[in-house]
A and B are shown apart, each in its own frame.
Chain A
């Protein structure tokens, strides 16, 4: 298992469009992925419903956790995606 912290920069947080982008990236990951909010809540980003329901807002620092054969490259892909704003603006 590997993990890394990242800050969400999307102005309106993870609403439908960026959540959809993140979900797509997450689904492309073969390992198990979890986002962990500051309060400890664990969210499975492979579900856009789970992701949106988690109410991750702008400025929040979340921990991305990946476990599996491809965990390292998966972690990298997800961190990159979130850092770059998930195709928004």
Chain B
């Protein structure tokens, strides 16, 4: 039995299961000498047969695999490999590698972008054949067919698409930080995940029995009976607590002394909305519109966007706060090449793109306006740093309203318009902004990073990222105060809103709305119901006066 301690992540939970490990093997050809030419050729032919049969079943519904099937059986490839085995007495792996490289070189040198992309296809089948020649089992994300904890180097969204998620009990990845795709997905699914666990691929083997405690950040490999029993009990308790939470989930988010706040959900697509509305939410605090742009082969049309926003508004009883396009250099669009930026985090992104590409922005605004006729939609602008940006956006919105009026298309004249507070500039000038919008939503993820000058994804310093830092605490308090002075509600859609430890201080500062991922709604509501607003106000006042992080943490830990 071996116990490993890892950096914590934001998803909690215990999982006890078998490991399903997916390797990213290097697949360099071996250097063994062949015993005889005929046998070696036969070995290669057998690999082709095996891989071909495997791809054939996949090829039925998938064009990419159909093309791969062609390549695996290609006469030219076969001839090239056989020639090298015969002429040079190369072993099958080497012959395959050399032949594949020859074709790759030809394709790479071609003028044609399309042809150059076929290199990926050749590499793919080269890897499949090589895997088989080496006697390795091809562990595909698509092969998972029993309950397991997934252990892999990293998980891209395209890999997730291949997974049968119902079998996954937890995730462990070597790469990735708390904002990575895996973390977010795990949170949404309510599954434990540990990411950025360096060296884990060397330590854990496929089919190992392990226990993972994502909250404490512990992985136990091949646990003994006693440990296993202990964790099974913990798991059982967790399950019971979860069920209890679900029973009281429909109760309002109200403190013991009667202060009511809203608890809403953060969503990233229509499926998320459908899931979120089953959790007794007061609304959707953040609808990320990026999926319409990212999961597409071109910029989404007004109709496409309109249908999606309308559907969200229709599904949700409360308000749906839709954030306008928030992408940047770190999230590439397959059909629009962003220029390489040294600092995409401080670069051309979000509202900057929208205000520069006004046609794109107008398309989105028009779609949002039209959808506002079908439900309660609030429009929210991301990453604003100056009043001028806000004015430009509002002016464009007015233009769109006039256009729609002329075209006879319906929209809500009083649609609420607000902005995210996620930059230091917007905090410093918050009073001016408060007079010009209908609501604020604090984006603590980015705000904390910008305020503390810390890259959350940088494992070396990621422990410095802490939204309890006095700078962030004071910023939040300042924003809420300014918002209330101007008579507008202030919500929070950053991850900090789902931090149980933050509930009392945020309540005390006067936060009006907590927007969290659907899986956390019940937990936050239950937490709010346990507190006395008066006590929270006192806590908040002390926290704002605290001089350093340690002082804040002491106050947070001690409050009751």
Contact = CB atoms under 8 A, between A and B. Distances in A.
Q: Does B associate with A?
A: yes
Given A15-B115, A16-B118, A49-B77, A23 B70 contact: yes
Interface stretch (A2-10, A50-58, A65-73): A50-58
Contacts of A46: 75-76
B24 interface: no
A63 interface: no
Interface residues of A, number: 16
A53 B67 contact: no
Contacts of B114: 12, 15-16
Contacts of A52: 107, 115, 118
Contact of A44 (B75, B118, B122): B75
B112 interface: yes
A49 B112 contact: no
Interface residues on B, range: 10 to 19
A68 to B, nearest CB: 16
B75 A47 contact: yes
Contacts, number: 45
B124 to A, nearest CB: 14
A49 B71 contact: yes
A55 B108 CA distance: 12
A48 interface: yes
A23 B107 CA distance: 18
A47 B77 contact: yes
A53 B75 contact: no
Contact of B76 (A12, A49, A55): A49
Which residue of A20, A50, A52 has the most chain B CB atoms within 10 A of its CB atom? A52
Contact of A20 (B70, B107, B110, B122): B70
A15 B75 contact: no
A64 B184 CA distance: 57
A27 B118 CA distance: 21
A47 B79 contact: yes
B97 to A, nearest CB: 15
A30 to B, nearest CB: 14
Contacts of B77: 47, 49
Given A20-B67, A49-B71, A44 B76 contact: yes
A50 B112 contact: no
Given A20-B70, A23-B70, 8 more contacts: A12-B112, A15-B112, A15-B115, A16-B67, A48-B70, A49-B103, A50-B76, A55-B112
Interface of A: 12-13, 15-16, 20, 23, 27, 44, 46-50, 52-53, 55
The 5 closest A-B pairs by CB, nearest first: A47-B76, A50-B76, A47-B75, A53-B106, A49-B76
26 contacts: A12-B112, A13-B112, A16-B67, A16-B114, A16-B118, A20-B70, A23-B70, A44-B75, A44-B76, A47-B74, A47-B79, A48-B70, A48-B74, A48-B76, A49-B71, A49-B74, A49-B76, A49-B122, A50-B76, A52-B107, A52-B115, A52-B118, A53-B106, A55-B110, A55-B111, A55-B112
